[in-house]
Structure 1
Amino acid sequence: MKVHVEELTVGCIAAEDVMGLTANPIIKKGTEIEPIHIEVMRAFNIRQLAILSKTADGGMVDAEPSKDEAYNETADFHEVENYSFKKLYMDFVKFFNAAFNGWQSGSKVDVVDLKNKLTPLLKAVSSDRDMIYYLPRWSQPKDYMAHHAVSTALISYLIAEKYGYDKGACIQTALAGIIADTGMAKMPLSILKKTGPLTQEEAIEIRKHPIYSYQYVMDTPLLKNEMKQAIYQHHERLDGSGYPRGSKRSDINLPAQMIALADVYHAMTSERLYRARQSPFKALETIMHDEFGKFDIILLKTLQEMVGNLSTGTKVELSNEQVAEVIFTKPDELLRPMVRSTLTEEVIDLSTNRKLFIERVIS
């Protein structure tokens, strides 16, 4: 059905591409509508939008159909790619939460079950890397542990894939990524539920979790020894500032460095009980500059290419809440392209205007 823009609610699903004044859609079919999309349609003087009858969380749309134009709804809700991926993702988050409760009660980590449940998500994210933009948006503070584990696995997989690992190694890296924090199940509830800064004693306890995670899988033949080591080392840093051993550079294996980067990137870009999320673009700049020397520069550039390097015509929201369109990206400034405001037509070179940055990509 078609509804007036003023009747749209957050969570509706676009049933068709919405075209503006460019060759590319300003909103793609299957997009989950957020406030910024409504603002964009108003800016382009778009009066109505064809949407599906269900929202992204499976509820029914509560809006009156537009009488301006009849609409024959033929789209299959379950075939909308963004929704299908989100459903897979949210189902896995629920599964991980249940499994984590079991580990807290003394159950063993079932690597086979984790792999079987994770594989469909890996296939989906491999076929559409743009899903990397959605992961931080879907993360919820109350279920952060599960969201973080699943997203770290997916981002680790994408980094490994783009780096050139074969399919088997990519899957192993993702599996190590999702197991990396299983040792948190051995932490006291007082620490896991704490919303403020940790005491020195609590911080020391938290730093034991990679050891516990390794112990969960040390005897399984389903993970390569390299991946077991990656689980143990995923909080190590190249400059020796990490834990649990303070290992440096060549002593830290490559999968561990991939998982470490995925881990910190998702943590910085996700809403948490005690910290607001950062823009993916700003977070990568922070990692590059403030954490220089801690992460492998080639892996950092690999992640930058995945998040940045936006194609011409991509719609973005800037840090000043302006909506803009990417018109050119310099090879050495993948996170700071040249954009054009959709409202004023002003061209802004983000590589020279450092006060502004891309807040997020508009689907």
Structure 2
Amino acid sequence: MITRGNPRCHCLSRTAPVKVFACRADALADAGCFKADMPVKKLAIDELCIGMYVEELDRPWLETDLPYQGMVVADQSDIDMLARQAKHVYVTDLAPPLSDSAAAAAGAKKQDIDRPALHDRAPLEFFEEIEHARHIRSDMRNLVGAIHDDIRAGRRLDVDTAQEMVTRIGDSVARNSEALMWFSTLKHRDDYTAQHSVHVCMLAVAFAAYLGMDDTQLDTLGLGALFHDVGKIRVPLAVLNKPGRLTEEEMAEIRKHPQHGVDILSEIDGISPDSLDVVLNHHERLDGSGYPRGISGHEISYFSQLLAICDVYDAMTSDRVYHRGRTPADVIKIMRGDTDMINQTLLEKFNAFLGDYPVGTLVELNSGEVGLIVPRTEHDSETDLDQPVVLIMLDHNKHLYYPQRLRDLGRYERFQITRVLASGAYGIDVNDYACNLQ
């Protein structure tokens, strides 16, 4: 069971959506959320505000039924819960994280928040990098929205901001690749087009870094990945969001979007021919069955072959208006069957990069318990580091496990994963966990 007082342990509250909290203030200080020397204030419960961090109660934590020691006040339900346990609390002011979201492109003023400067790549633990990764994903979503708005309005795209965003992705991956990849599990069907560009860009840059590409290559590939579907802005929404099978005429419209993208981007300074190549050719296939030109084999650049894998993987693991997302393992299996279409050597490297059980994967154990794959934060000689760590959420009867616990399958060999589940299985929405990880 997760113990109290461990600066790296994480437990779950009973509130919905379920929130994951760091158990000590120093863990949040390490993550850059606030300064460790912030003054501690004594407040009555009715003086609490959302965003504060509760350091101590007016009684020992162990005398309460709270599952953690130290907590962020995330919403009114947390205040109500504390009111049942104490009359006074000791807090530090923890302002909600502010986004510097694609400031120029979105027209927003950049906020002065504590985050590493560009090219700060000193390694960090997962929970130290997670806030920076959260900001990057949020800012990318804002940037993609701003890009679409600019195209519709006929305004010049802010390529400099887009390139800076790609650089931030590369820096985050260098510090801790799992933190940014964690957010690729966040998939909302109603926001597919915007989030797909974000996730494909993150996947492509992280995978390319894993392959050992240099900064120039990461920037070139990343910019192409970020813009790879920009041409869909010229495809009718009725076609993009059609829940049923597309007609030949509608499919012809879809096949135009890579060329539309190049037409839009080629008029803008700052985008290299190699980035444009990715935009044009990410739907081409090795056997010549792709589009828009039907080229094959060595005619398709390495970058475009790489992006094709990231593009297909994210599309197939996402919920769409016409199908539920598949599990990562199922998607890799399907892609392995496309031997004439996809670079299989590159696909196997992609699978090695993801691992057998990517973070955020929902799994069932041989015990009947159900849990979520989470990043490994502890390393020792007695643990098989190739085995994942699972946050157990349901017991063998599929009842809510409270308090949830971490189970390291590298340490407890009698527990094994029997199957991978789709998000939503047994009523568990992976998004509720991923978006609230602290």
TM-score (structure 1 length as normaliser)? 0.73
Describe how 1:126-275 pairs up with structure 2 within 5 A: 126-131=174-179, 133-275=181-323
Report the counterpart of residue 59 of structure 2 in structure 1: none
Structure 1 runs, 4 residues or longer, greater than 6 Å off = 1-4, 360-363
Cα distance in 1 between the residues matched to 2:421 and 2:139:
30
Cα distance in 1 between the residues matched to 2:333 and 2:243:
27
Structure 1 residues 5 and 98: CA distance shift in structure 2, 3 A: closer
SS of the equivalent of 1:49 reads: coil
1:7 aligns with 2:24: no
Higher alpha-carbon Rg: 2
Describe how 1:27-106 pairs up with structure 2 within 5 A: 48-50=67-69, 52-55=71-74, 62=78, 63-65=80-82, 67=85, 78=97, 81-106=129-154
Contact kept, 8 Å, 2:185 with 2:360, in 1: the verdict is no
Contact kept, 8 Å, 2:242 with 2:322, in 1: the verdict is no
Residue by residue over 1:246-304, the C-alpha shift from the partner in whole angstroms, topping out at 9 and shown as x without a partner, is 11110000111111111111111222222212222332222223x22322223212221
Cα distance in 1 between the residues matched to 2:232 and 2:307:
16
Structure 1 residues 257 and 49: CA distance shift in structure 2, 3 A: same
Q: CA deviation at 1:340?
A: 5.0
Cα distance in 1 between the residues matched to 2:179 and 2:238:
34
Structure 2, unpaired ranges of 5+? 25-29, 32-64, 98-113, 115-127, 374-382, 388-407, 424-429
Structure 1 residues 341 and 197: CA distance shift in structure 2, 3 A: farther
Q: Which of 293, 301, 309 is the equivalent residue of 2:348? A: 301
SS of the equivalent of 1:318 reads: strand
Cα distance in 2 between the residues matched to 1:203 and 1:266:
20
Structure 1, unpaired ranges of 5+? 18-28, 31-45, 331-338
Cα distance in 2 between the residues matched to 1:11 and 1:261:
32
Structure 1 residues 358 and 226: CA distance shift in structure 2, 3 A: same
Structure 1 residues 125 and 196: CA distance shift in structure 2, 3 A: farther
Residue by residue over 1:333-360, the C-alpha shift from the partner in whole angstroms, topping out at 9 and shown as x without a partner, is xxxxxx95999x7444x6xx7xx23768
SS of the equivalent of 1:277 reads: coil
Q: CA deviation at 1:96?
A: 1.3
Contact kept, 8 Å, 1:132 with 1:307, in 2: the verdict is no
* Larger proportion of helix: 1
Structure 1 residues 257 and 315: CA distance shift in structure 2, 3 A: closer
Q: Tell me the matched-pair count.
A: 316
Cα distance in 2 between the residues matched to 1:52 and 1:278:
35
1:120 aligns with 2:164: no
Q: What percentage of residue pairs aligned between the two structures are identical?
A: 22
Contact kept, 8 Å, 1:136 with 1:269, in 2: the verdict is no
Cα distance in 1 between the residues matched to 2:327 and 2:357:
15
Q: Which of 420, 424, 431 is the equivalent residue of 1:357? A: 420
Report the counterpart of residue 377 of structure 2 in structure 1: none
Structure 1 residues 165 and 118: CA distance shift in structure 2, 3 A: closer
Cα distance in 1 between the residues matched to 2:69 and 2:20:
9
Residue by residue over 1:130-157, the C-alpha shift from the partner in whole angstroms, topping out at 9 and shown as x without a partner, is 1354334322222211100111111111
